[in-house]
Amino acid sequence: MNRNALKGFAVDIGGTKTAVARIEQGKIVEHLVTPTDGDADLEGHLQSFAQQLGRVGYRSGELLGVAVTGRVTRSGKWSAVNSGTLRAIEGVPLGAVLKARFGEACCCNDAAAAAYSEAMFGAGEDCPIFVYVTVSTGVGGGLVVDGKLIESSRGLAGHLGFVTGPGANLICGSGRRGTVESIAAGRAIAAAAEDAGHPDFDARKVFEAARSGSHWADEIIDRSSQAIASLCADTAATLDPDCIAIGGGIGLADGYLSRVRAHLANEPELFRVPLLPAVLGSDGPLLGALALAVTRRHQ
Ligand code: BMX
């Protein structure tokens, strides 16, 4: 896909922030970010981002890609997998409502969208089998094989945060016990800080504390990075990717990828998949959602 030909609008509803963007010639030319309301229902999310889209110049009929945290079924139904992140989104008709309200619009999972744009224009450009992992509010993922995003009818394909990991034993919002998300994600890092006696520490403050030499904070971040390293090694035994790109606010935090690489180095050589930082950063889900809208329009 020619990135320069990418023109339209995109929305990224993440677990913590919702971004809207106007995209021209494959670049984000206008961009607004607001907090995500984890208690909002479908109408609440729609009204919130529709207002923001108007502020970046969206007009009805323009091509729109919407990336969301949670799974999106092939029929466009949107559900949280981790109900702790989105408390009022279960089986809602996102695809149908987008088409009714906005005309030319498509919806997909946020990490899948980022995987697609990283495969098309970013870290995965030269990887026939490419895996993207976001470590952010949750831990998400996307799988792109020979330029095609792997999507399943239930929308769960690529949800790598819900595999179980080493040292994890907590019940996750997905209902599983010991998931990678329950030990590695931003919300898990904040919960571990609270358990360590620091109730008002979000992930960013835990990273700051670790940089200032706090052993408790360093341990929490190390457990997170170890779980992600183990997840990366596991993918070698499933898809055997040519590379894995790590993105998300935690994934791209200073020193985090080095920690993951250090833990991955303890795995047998065969399971040390090359790791790269995501190139597109927080633009990834926005560019990927619009790129998927273009791809699907031609299908
Ligand atoms: C969770 C899951 C994924 C999402 C990932 C990263 C929910 C609500 N989300 O694993 O669908 O891709 O988090 O999401 O179940 P983010 O909120 O960190 O962007």
Distance 88 CA to ligand 1 centre (A): 14
Q: Are 8 and 26 contacting, i.e. CB atoms less than 8 angstroms apart?
A: no
Q: What is the pLDDT of residue 1?
A: 83
Give the pLDDT band of residue 167 (cuts 50, 70, 90): confident
Question: Is the CB of residue 134 below 6 angstroms from any atom belonging to ligand 1?
Answer: yes
Percentage of residues in the chain with pLDDT exceeding 90? 95
Q: Rounded to whole angstroms, how far apart are CA atoms 165 and 183?
A: 8
Residue indicated by tokens 């309200």: 101
Determine phi and psi for 29, rounding to 5 degrees.
-100, -20
Sign of CA dihedral 106, 112, 114, 118: negative
Mean pLDDT of 212-235: 98
- CA 292 – CA 289 distance, rounded (Å): 5
Specify the pairing of strand 243-247 against strand 275-277. Answer: parallel
One CATH from 3.30.420.40, 3.90.1150.50, 3.30.70.260, 3.30.70.100 for 126-277: 3.30.420.40
Tokens of 93: 């008709």
Q: 40 alpha carbon to ligand 1 midpoint, in Å?
A: 16
Q: Residue 62: its pLDDT value, please? A: 94
Spacing, Cα 136 to ligand 1 middle (Å): 8
Residue nearest to atom 11 of ligand 1 (CA): 70
Q: Which of 6, 59, 13 is nearest to 28 (CA)?
A: 6
Q: Is 3-114+282-297 a domain of CATH 3.40.50.300?
A: no
Does ligand 1 lie within 6 Å of residue 138's CB atom?
Answer: yes
Q: Which atom of ligand 1 is nearest to the CA of 89?
A: 8
Question: Is residue 50's pLDDT more than 90?
Answer: yes
Instruction: Categorize the per-residue pLDDT at 295 as very low, low, confident or very high, splitting at 50, 70 and 90.
Output: very high
Residue 222 confidence class, pLDDT cut points 50, 70, 90: very high
Instruction: Please check the confidence at residue 299 and state whether its pLDDT lies above 80.
Output: no
Q: What is the pLDDT of residue 297?
A: 86
Residue intervals in the chain for CATH 3.30.420.40? 3-114+282-297, 126-277
Q: Is 15 in the pocket of ligand 1 (CB under 6 A)?
A: yes
Distance 105 CA to ligand 1 centre (A): 21
In this structure, what token pair is assigned to residue 29?
Answer: 């030319």
Q: What is the mean pLDDT of residues 168-173?
A: 91
In terms of Cα–Cα distance, which of 112, 298, 140 is closest to 228?
Answer: 140
Among the ranges given (25-39, 69-83, 164-178, 257-271), the one the predictor scored with the smallest mean pLDDT: 164-178
Across the chain, mean pLDDT equals 97
Average pLDDT over residues 83-112: 96
pLDDT score, position 202: 96
Q: What is the pLDDT of residue 104?
A: 83
Please state the pTM of the whole predicted model: 0.97
**For residue 168, pLDDT beyond 90:** no
DSSP class per residue in the chain: --GGG--EEEEEE-SSEEEEEEEETTEEEEEEEEE--TT--HHHHHHHHHHHHHHTT--TTS-EEEEESSEE-TT--EE-SSTTT-SS-SSB-HHHHHHHHHSSEEEEEHHHHHHHHHHHHSTTTT-SEEEEEEESSSEEEEEEETTEE---TTS-TT-GGGSB-TT--SBPTTS-BSBSHHHHSHHHHHHHHHHTT-TT--HHHHHHHHHTT-HHHHHHHHHHHHHHHHHHHHHHTTT--SEEEEEHHHHTSTTHHHHHHHHHTTS-GGG---EEE-SSGGGHHHHHHHHHHHHHHT-
At 109, which amino acid appears?
N
Neighbours of 156 (CB within 10 A): 16
Question: Which token pair is 74?
Answer: 């092939």
The predicted pLDDT at position 166 comes to 83
Per-residue pLDDT, 235: 97
Query: What is the rounded CA–CA span in Å between residue 155 and residue 92?
Result: 13
Note whether 181 and 138 are within 8 A (CB): yes
